[in-house]
Structure 1
């Protein structure tokens, strides 16, 4: 596969992302395409979680938690 006319900023971002993931640019592009395919065909990570825990009876229910609006104490690093 050859990708022509890829904007420089996209190519640079892909190169930086590949470097941060210790992969070649080709391997990074492959991982992005595979992840995109998997997300589309499995519904993504969120949908997998929903499917796994749907029988627990808590999906879609609101939690009744009262929010504490008091200011927190500042961190003491001494």
Structure 2
């Protein structure tokens, strides 16, 4: 797993993270991982596959109807791009 070093963190920011970590019962490092993950993976993001599956459940697709979609997908590998 990659590591990240953050330099020149202001004292008040470090103090606030230390307090927040204590409130959540974890280390400063674990708190920083949680903060970073929350920043780049917001909970309200739309996941296309999940959304389409939910639509399928709402309209009550049968197994046969769902199989039609499975057969449509082209599963051949993509060709490499040529820039010549």
TM-score (norm 1): 0.50
Structure 1 counterpart SS, 2:42: helix
Match of 2:14 among 11, 16, 23: 11
Mark the structure with the bigger radius of gyration.
Answer: 2
Match of 2:5 among 2, 6, 10: 2
Alignment of 1:1-78 (within 5 A): 1-39=4-42, 42=45
Task: Please provide the CA RMSD for this pair.
Answer: 2.2
> What are structure 1's unaligned runs of at least 5 residues?
44-51, 53-78
Please state how far the C-alpha of 1:41 moved relative to its aligned partner: 7.7
Structure 1 counterpart SS, 2:41: helix
> What are structure 2's unaligned runs of at least 5 residues?
47-53, 55-84
- Pairs aligned (count): 44
Go from structure 1 to structure 2 and tell me whether the alpha carbon gap of 1:41 and 1:23 turns closer, same or farther (over 3 Å shift): same
TM-score (norm 2): 0.47
